[in-house]
């Protein structure tokens, strides 16, 4: 049976992962489309920037977010001065850090799906008079749906386990930013926290497996409904 503190960590993990996916999903769709269909100078640079969080230590990502979005940073200071919005050391900040770290996973899933869509389908729609936005929303986006769904679910599952960027940018505040991995870390540091650590680890493994299996199952079902 989970304690109140453990349930709170689970609740925060779900909130952070959900907010991170919701905030980054439109940008991931745009990035995937630009990387596959776009023809412009600097596309390789955009590709590198999108996937950079995969190769950087998460602590570095968290530190850079703190530099930019902290109350003394250029964007964070402006948001705080004009709107009273503070991102660092908040639940929203944890969602931002999680979104940055899981963004490449979303883009990758969508990109793989989009690369399998014949450009001729969009060209056929163009010859029938469909404009760029009409082609995107009526042809491209529906066919990208399996990749979008798989990317979103995978990013959600990954977001449940994000640690380095979150603890650096949002800290480890009970009831505010202490998600499952941070709660596990806290339990490991406690002399009598072995039992709690095992419960957190088991819960994290279960959620991770469930998320990956759900992403694959939903993607296959949606592909089957859309047809070959």
pLDDT of residue 228: 55
d(CA 207, CA 194): 20
- Structural domains counted in the chain: 1
> Angle 43-55/4-37 helices, nearest 10 degrees?
160
Complete DSSP assignment for 59-92: HHHHHHHHHHHSTTSHHHHHHHHHH----TTSHH
d(CA 50, CA 107): 8
pLDDT of residue 165: 96
Per-residue tens of pLDDT for the chain, all 228 residues? 678 888 899 999 999 999 999 999 999 999 999 999 888 888 899 999 999 999 999 999 999 999 999 999 999 999 999 999 999 999 999 999 999 999 999 999 999 989 988 888 888 887 877 787 888 888 888 888 888 988 998 899 899 999 999 999 999 999 999 999 999 999 999 888 888 899 899 988 888 888 888 877 877 787 777 665
User: Residue 56 sits in a domain of what CATH number?
Assistant: 1.10.3720.10
pLDDT of residue 226: 63
Helix segments in the chain, DSSP class H = 4-37, 43-55, 58-69, 74-83, 91-115, 119-127, 132-135, 141-160, 164-169, 180-189, 194-226
Range of the domain at 23: 4-226
pLDDT of residue 53: 95
pTM score, two decimals? Answer: 0.90
> Angle 194-226/141-160 helices, nearest 10 degrees?
170
pLDDT of residue 55: 94
């Amino acid at each position: 049976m989970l304690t109140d503190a453990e349930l709170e960590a689970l609740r925060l993990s779900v909130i952070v992962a959900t907010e991170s996916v919701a905030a980054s999903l439109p940008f991931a769709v745009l990035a995937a489309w630009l990387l596959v269909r776009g023809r412009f100078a600097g596309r390789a640079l955009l590709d590198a920037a999108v996937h950079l969080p995969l190769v950087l230590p998460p602590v570095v990502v968290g530190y850079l977010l703190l530099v930019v979005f902290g109350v003394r940073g250029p964007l964070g200071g402006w948001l705080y001065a004009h709107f009273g919005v503070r991102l660092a050391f908040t639940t929203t900040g944890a969602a931002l850090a999680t979104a940055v770290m899981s963004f490449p996973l979303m883009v990758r899933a969508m990109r793989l799906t989009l690369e399998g869509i014949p450009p001729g389908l969009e060209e056929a729609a163009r010859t029938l008079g469909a404009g760029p936005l009409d082609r995107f929303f009526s042809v491209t986006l529906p066919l990208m749906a399996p990749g979008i769904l798989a990317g979103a679910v995978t990013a959600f599952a990954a977001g449940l386990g994000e640690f380095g960027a979150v603890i650096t940018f949002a800290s480890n505040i009970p009831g505010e930013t202490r998600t499952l991995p941070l709660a596990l870390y806290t339990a490991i540091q406690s002399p009598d926290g072995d039992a709690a650590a095992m419960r957190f680890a088991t819960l994290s493994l279960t959620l991770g497996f469930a998320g990956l299996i759900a992403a694959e199952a939903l993607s296959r079902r949606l592909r089957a409904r859309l047809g070959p």
